[in-house]
Homo-oligomer: A and B are copies of this chain.
Amino acid sequence: MQVALIQQHYHGSKEETIAHTVTQIQAAANHGASLVVLQELHQTEYFCQSEDTKFFAYANSFKKDVAFWSQIAKKHNIVLVTSLFEKRTAGLYHNTAVVFEKDGSIAGKYRKMHIPDDPGFYEKFYFTPGDLGFEPIQTSVGKLGILICWDQWYPEAARIMTLKGAEVLIYPTAIGWFEEDSKEEKQRQLDAWITIQRSHAIANAIPVISCNRVGFESDASGVMKGTKFWGHSFICGTQGELLAHAKSEEDTILYANISHTRTKEVRDIWPFLRDRRIEAYKCLLKRYCDDR
């Protein structure tokens, strides 16, 4: 099965950014991709660099956005993974991936469960943590374990998706460097980000698709300079082997063929699921195991 992800920079406005994405989706469909993955909050700039109530306006169009991407999926006969700003009611918003079936119907949605909050990534201001749990979404191209950005640092999330039958893990994401960090620190952060996601493929013997934003975006508040989103989107196989890997500067479409049958082959030689010591894992449900 051929899959594609679209790594792109913010094109200055929601309209121009969406227009670019649509041409890329068309190209991916023409190339033969049956699953197309977009990056986190792909319609706009990464507005969480500052806390400003004006940005909640982006979520007003959630229902329209869903209708729009639905017809794009249908037009190109693809399964499409989007990442949208969901307004549920006034004062209640989520960071939500909506997955569309080839006929444009909604296959399912995932609301980001782990919400970050650190300088330049003020997501706790904007997004209520997801309340749909870690539930894979059944589609015509397989059962998709959709997770979003900060989720990628949590082996728990990847494992639960796997135990619920996910056949591939998909991470729309928006991560980057501060320019003022040292070259060594940047390299450690990038390597860590790639490594942890490859490890989810390895621990669970399923492919991983990670689609990151690229390019510099300034901090609208002026408090910080801004973030250089580091690209490096990738697709890896069931042993964590890189099948396709983007660079750090360019808008690009990445393609790979992934195999659901490889999961069984790998699990037969490395049967990690067989030997989990579930009776000894209770501590995983605690905040910290200090008996407080």
Docked CA distance A115–B275 (Å): 7
Q: Is the CB of A278 within 8 A of B286?
A: yes
Chain B positions within 8 Å of A156 at CB level: 155, 159, 276-277, 281, 284
Q: List 19 A-B contacts (CB under 8 A).
A: A116-B275, A133-B280, A153-B270, A153-B272, A154-B272, A156-B276, A159-B284, A160-B280, A160-B283, A163-B289, A188-B240, A192-B241, A195-B195, A195-B198, A195-B199, A198-B199, A278-B286, A281-B284, A281-B285
- The reply to whether the CB of A180 lies closer than 8 angstroms to some CB of chain B is no
Contacts of A278 in B (CB 8 A): 284-287
Given A189-B239, A270-B153, A280 contacting B134 (CB threshold 8 A): yes
A27 at interface (Cβ–Cβ under 8 A)?
no
Per-position contact with B for A191-207: 1 when CB-CB < 8 Å, else 0?
11001101100110000
Bound state CA distance, A270 and B113, in angstroms?
Answer: 16
A273's partner among B157, B203, B285, B288 (CB-CB below 8 A) is: B288
